[in-house]
């Protein structure tokens, strides 16, 4: 094959250009084992694009399919936990997602055995608010985005990943108001099994992430958090230089950690509890514009550090 000098020159320029472009893309790619706020934010954006993730809707099913697809892409095995529960709006169907990592095959996973397992949880549904297209970028979106990016990072270290179960709860939000029978549908159902499990088969601990992406994010777990889990969270934050963003709420909080604690699994709610009184909570202002990649990255990095330390203990 013959090519003129000019064509050859052009080809070289293309090769150099694409070479540089490919290298710089590779350079941007998050490093192995490193949490990327950019990636987490991308997941939040995808979830928000599906529209309100109301239990039983097509949008929440699309969100579920997206979560499953990403988890499988990162090497996790997923199962759906479907159930019906009575709500103020009558009987409704909810679906939790569970994911575990195995180097062998999905068939080898004993989903009933929680020994040595840490639970990392997020709800992915959004609240039904009359007259508002409530997208829950922070409420339901941010924590789910962080969990998906953690799934990618954990998979780089199979020894860590196989000690983690990721749980995505449906129906965290109350249809009307939180009562013992309205709200926390997914976590109440999920915790039921562990409640009756023998102590040595229960998961070691659970971390529930909620409201972790606001631009003014600050993590204040509930007042009645298990003290060991709280001090481990602070120490992980300290070691990364983010201790000042982690405090404590002056009250208990109703969230998905409650049924887990009641089932005998020490559970920590990693939540920006002040967000609830800042005016954006459960309003149309909880949109993608209110989310900061940097804060998703801080929470992701701290939770990653926390779980790595806990697993090695």
Q: Considering only residues 52, 53, 138, 139, which one is a binding residue for Zn ion as defined by CB under 5 A?
A: 139
3-state helix, strand, coil in the chain (%, to 5): 45, 15, 40
Q: Distance between CA atoms of 229 and 2, rounded to whole angstroms?
A: 69
Residue 81 or 273: which CB sits closer to Zn ion? Answer: 273
Least distance (Å) between residue 123 CB and Zn ion: 8
Residue 46 or 139: which CB sits closer to Zn ion? Answer: 139
Tell me: does residue 165 bind Zn ion (CB under 5 A): no
Tell me: does residue 170 bind Zn ion (CB under 5 A): no
Q: Which one of the spans 28-36, 41-49, 102-110, 138-146 is the region binding Zn ion (CB under 5 A)?
A: 138-146
Least distance (Å) between residue 36 CB and Zn ion: 26
Write out the binding residues for Zn ion, residues 65-84 only, by CB under 5 A: none
Q: What is the DSSP letter of 246?
A: B
Tell me: does residue 255 bind Zn ion (CB under 5 A): no
Give the containing element (helix H, strand E) for 207.
strand 205-210
Residue 225 or 273: which CB sits closer to Zn ion? Answer: 273
* End-to-end C-alpha distance for the chain, whole angstroms: 63
Residue 125 or 165: which CB sits closer to Zn ion? Answer: 125
Give the containing element (helix H, strand E) for 27.
helix 5-28
Q: Distance between CA atoms of 285 and 164, rounded to whole angstroms?
A: 33
Least distance (Å) between residue 112 CB and Zn ion: 30
Q: What is the DSSP letter of 291?
A: B
Residue appearing with tokens 């490919």: 22
In sequence order, the 6+-apart residues with CB closer than 8 A to the CB of 307 are 118, 120, 160, 164, 207
Residue 174 or 303: which CB sits closer to Zn ion? Answer: 174
Tell me: does residue 210 bind Zn ion (CB under 5 A): no
**Site residues, Zn ion (CB under 5 A):** 139
């Amino acid at each position: 094959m013959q090519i003129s000098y000019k064509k050859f020159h052009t080809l070289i320029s293309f090769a150099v250009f694409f070479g540089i472009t490919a290298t710089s893309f590779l350079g941007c790619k998050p490093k192995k084992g490193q949490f990327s706020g950019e990636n987490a934010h991308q997941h939040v954006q995808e979830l928000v694009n599906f529209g309100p993730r109301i239990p039983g809707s097509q949008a929440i099913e699309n969100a579920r399919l997206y979560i499953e697809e990403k988890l499988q892409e990162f090497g996790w095995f997923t199962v759906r936990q479907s159930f019906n529960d009575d709500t103020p709006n009558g009987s409704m169907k909810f679906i939790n997602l569970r994911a575990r990592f195995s180097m062998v095959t999905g068939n080898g996973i004993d989903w009933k055995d929680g020994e040595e397992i840490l639970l990392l949880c997020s709800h992915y549904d959004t609240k039904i608010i009359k007259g508002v297209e409530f997208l829950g970028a922070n409420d339901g979106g941010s924590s789910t985005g962080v969990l998906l990016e953690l799934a990618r990072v954990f998979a780089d270290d199979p020894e860590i990943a196989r000690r983690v179960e990721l749980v995505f709860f449906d129906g965290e939000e109350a249809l009307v108001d939180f009562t013992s029978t309205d709200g926390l549908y997914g976590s109440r159902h999920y915790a039921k099994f562990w409640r009756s499990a023998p102590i040595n088969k229960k998961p070691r601990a659970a971390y529930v992430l909620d409201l972790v992406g606001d631009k003014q994010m600050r993590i204040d777990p509930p007042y009645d958090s298990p003290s060991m889990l709280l001090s481990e969270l602070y120490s992980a934050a300290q070691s990364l230089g983010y201790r000042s963003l982690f405090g404590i709420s002056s009250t208990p909080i109703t969230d998905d950690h409650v049924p887990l604690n009641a089932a005998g699994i020490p559970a920590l709610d990693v939540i920006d509890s002040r967000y609830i009184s800042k005016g954006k909570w459960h309003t149309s202002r909880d949109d993608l514009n209110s989310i900061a990649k940097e804060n998703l990255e801080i929470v992701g990095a701290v939770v990653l550090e926390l779980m790595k330390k806990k697993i090695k203990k």
